[in-house]
Structure 1
């Protein structure tokens, strides 16, 4: 498309030309450039390029927000111009060199868990659909009651809803090996060993049977649904594999390396890593529950109000572990019910800006950005609109807090994770959908009204744009 080709060319020129760009990658909404010299970037020119919703430095990358779908098309055109294209994981490794230890650790945690999230999303949707189908009102439409549901049908639904969590250690170990430079299939097998049917099932041990005891004091169980034991076993396993591979003759590598890696790591995982980090997981879970169970909706107000600030920092993936633990232990996720309000509220604030402004360019930016937020992606609304004028962002935080407070008071809990607002409705089909819609409406309306009344005016817009023009380059 000629327009996208023009946009790509203008972007490259505004970022300093081909010679200033090391590489480009993209995620769901942004182009991510690695550049040689930040000073050569013309920020104003980038932001004035058609379809650009905002641009900023984060995690060592210059990130240009374009939105879902559009980013893929512009990326293809940038690639055609001859810019060195790379994948997001490789670029993240390069960008990580400029981060401190905490930032690198959080980024690594995200690199491990983000690839796993789609199957957990699917599992949550299966749980929601099962909850809908099993409701008495729905069954009555077909002249049935819960007693008419066959055991085989229930078994089928359990396959859909339980498999990802039963074999979660295998997924985590596979992804961890991949990120830390090991052979992913070895990680997969190591993770499967942690949930071997020969071991006492972790859930059965929690209720009715005893674990195996080695040497009289080391409890050994299966680690169905566990995350940290597989994660740390994956890190050590990948490093051990690399260590062994460097010291084994090439002719023996195929046999010796996987044999020694799996032998040493399953012993370490079952007898040392597993017992220690399973206990750590329990403490993390209890701490999470203590926060979520704060009285009078306090947890919902705080989490809903602060969540999008955390998103700006890029460390929000650290909460994936917490959500996985909630789902694995209880089959529900009150955290999702809270953060959906924070996402919806930023969309409500951007919607108010788009409807109130007389600027056609800002209107064309704000309205699609608000819709993107209602689909669960807030970056265009935050970086393209709300943060630029500050007050709409604050209004969105307040709306998120009010919505989160409501979610806590109502005891709202999703059946999955990672999807919010309109798509997230599918996680609340188990009799909670009306409360879920109410929470989102409250968050959107609160943010919208505050932005309309106090958070935005075209006079402030003109002042903000004038200040931006007068900034020293």
Structure 2
């Protein structure tokens, strides 16, 4: 398919004209727009344009799904037709943020911090899955692991595990880089801050509980003040708050220190002050908060697994629509850091699969060739962990597929939470997701996957047929009257 100028003209008109568009940019698949008034958008007309695969509002930006390869040409026509200049994603984000409330801004900030880390985290999850297959007992042999039967593979699995664990071992360094960048500070200082919090001289956070029990926690003595000498391996909150403080101190100093002295003053003072605050105040406080959050989730899913699975499984897709799902990536990472596993991420995988199955069923329901084509491609995308095309291009548009997917996801989530299915890492949130699940729990997880594949498909098909029958009955009634 090629992009025609007339198609982009239709898009501009459906958006309320060029006067309704404040700024525009694009990503790999979508036009990303900041609009003055979203109510002026004619979504029916917009989504009837041949090159448009869907549209949605997220984080204050109106996004038009066009597809890879086509969006670049569409953007060129878009700029020419609107008379706008090419702009950056940051400027569009800035324009869109003006309409966000404080909660939306907080959620968006977390998304801006964690989304750039996804390639490293997902890659680590996939590689850890391979290691789990090689080292997990009961997969190939009843009571032995593959590497026990074939010792030559042991070091191979060990090397994979080292590569996979790097992202999680040095997670504070990754978060420090991304968070300080988001808050407007020096990215290099963010990396140093994150690595400082996991320095080898500190007690490893994973051994903190045992050290407390044995009374062997090391301390710094600062003029009579005892400070626990512990690291924050795998922790999220300590480095997030510290990164914010570091950025603000750096910005404060940059405005007040003469250019000739900045190299000698700004970075050393900012890092030194933030370091002391991190170990004395920020670290202990946020470490306690993080553990409290973890304990709360663990309590709910341990004591009320049906309720936990039903709510999170049923409403995860709604969190995606609002953008709040990014906050739960931080919770997943906190759970992994505190307990070694996460019970939330497996539910995410089932939710994505459910959205794909609901979209796929529309291939049998709809008579529109464009919808049929989109249903297949968007379903494949959802099965591989990317649900935007399925959710915004098909399911939300027709509504009943979206609700069918939520029902299927909720049922599947209840099944796996009752069996306490857990993932050792965050991986690809779709069909390949089983690689991140603890191998001994694959059987139950596969049952959940089958539910997520079948139930949304059947419900969507059933509701679609009912809707068609109702429409036919209405038409016949009008003819008779």
TM-score for the superposition, normalised by structure 2: 0.87
Aligned runs of 1:85-100 on 2, under 5 Å? 85-100=86-101
Structure 2 partner of 1:326: 335
Query: Paired residue for 1:102?
Result: 103
**What is the alpha-carbon distance in structure 2 between the residues aligned to residue 87 and residue 432 of structure 1?**
45
Task: Give the Å deviation of 1:130.
Answer: 0.5
Q: Which residue pairs with 1:358 in the alignment?
A: 367
Q: CA deviation at 1:358?
A: 2.7
State whether residues 205 and 232 of structure 2, in contact with CA within 8 Å, keep that contact through their aligned partners in structure 1. yes
After the TM superposition, which residues 342-353 of structure 1 pair with which residues of structure 2 at under 5 Å, given as runs? Answer: 342-353=351-362
State which of 172, 180, 183 in structure 2 corresponds to 1:180. 183
- Mapped to 2, the partners of 1:76 and 1:427 lie a distance apart of 38
**1:287 Cα deviation from its structure 2 partner:** 0.9
Question: For the residues of structure 1 that align with 2:289 and 2:16, how far apart are their CA atoms?
Answer: 48
Structure 1 stretch 406-415 or stretch 321-330: which is displaced more?
Answer: 406-415
3-state SS of 2:439 partner: coil
Aligned partners of 2:353 and 2:431 also within 8 Å: no
Asked whether the 8 Å contact 2:180–2:243 carries over to 1, the reply is yes
Contact 2:28 2:71 in 1 (8 A): no
Residue 163 of structure 1 corresponds to 166
On the 8 A contact 2:3/2:74 being kept in 1, the answer is no
Q: Residues 18, 52 of structure 1: CA spacing in aligned structure 2 closer, same or farther, 3 A cutoff?
A: same
Give unpaired runs (5+ residues) of structure 1. Answer: 467-473
Name the SS of the counterpart of 1:62 in structure 2: strand
Q: Secondary structure at the match of 2:3?
A: helix
Could you tell which deviates more after superposition, 114-123 or 431-440?
431-440
**Is the CA contact 1:22–1:84 (under 8 Å) kept in the aligned structure 2?**
no
Match of 1:235 in 2: 244
Matching residue within 294, 297, 305 for 1:285? 294
1:74 aligns with 2:71: yes
C-alpha distance in structure 2 between counterparts of 1:419 and 1:144, whole Å? 25
Q: CA deviation at 1:22?
A: 2.9
Which residue is 1:15 aligned to?
Answer: 15
Structure 2 residue 196 is the aligned partner of structure 1 residue 193 = yes
CA deviations 1:121-144 (Å, max 9, x no partner) are 111112111111124565899996
Equivalents in 2 of 1:151, 1:388: separation in Å?
50
Offset of residue 326 of structure 1: 1.9
The CA deviation string for residues 401-424 of structure 1, in whole angstroms up to 9 with x for no partner, is: 111111113332223225222232
Matched residue count: 461
Q: How far does the alpha carbon of each residue in 1:67-117 deviate from its partner, in whole angstroms, 9 at most, with x for none?
A: xxx245313431365354444344223211111111111111111111112
2:372 counterpart of 1:369: no
- After TM superposition, the structure 1 = structure 2 runs for residues 22-61 of structure 1, keeping only pairs within 5 Å, are 22-27=22-27, 29-38=29-38, 41-61=41-61
1:131-167, Cα deviation, whole Å (9 max, x unpaired): 1112456589999626836885565344223322222
Q: Secondary structure at the match of 1:48?
A: coil
User: 1:459 Cα shift?
Assistant: 3.1
Matches within 5 A, 1:41-440: 41-66=41-66, 70-71=67-68, 73-79=70-76, 81-82=78-79, 83-135=84-136, 138=140, 145=148, 148=151, 156-208=159-211, 209-214=216-221, 215-295=224-304, 297-417=306-426, 419-428=428-437, 430-440=439-449
| 1:171-210 deviations in Å (ceiling 9; x for gaps) | 1121111001101101111111111122222223332441
Please give the alpha-carbon distance, in whole angstroms, between the structure 2 residues aligned to 1:212 and 1:164.
28
- Distance (Å, rounded) in 1 between the aligned partners of 2:6 and 2:409: 38
The 8 Å contact of residues 357 and 458 in structure 1, kept in 2 or not, is answered as no
Q: Decide whether aligned partners of structure 1 residues 53 and 418 sit closer, same or farther in structure 2, where only a CA change above 3 A counts.
A: farther
Indicate how the Cα distance of structure 1 residues 437 and 364 shifts in structure 2: closer, same or farther if over 3 A, else same.
same
Structure-1 separation of matches of 2:331 and 2:146: 40
Distance 1:334 1:28, change over 3 A: farther
Take 2:366 and 2:353, find their aligned partners in 1: how far apart are those partners? 20
Q: What RMSD in Å do the two structures reach over aligned CA positions? A: 2.9
CA contact (8 A) 2:193 2:275 kept: yes
Kept in 2: contact 1:31–1:71 (CA 8 A):
no
Look up the match of 2:478: none
Segment drifting more, 40-49 vs 395-404? 40-49
Which is worse superposed, 281-290 or 439-448?
439-448
Alpha carbons of structure 1 residues 184 and 72: separation in structure 2 relative to 1, 3 Å = farther
**Equivalent-residue separation in structure 2 for 1:203 and 1:143 (angstroms):** 28
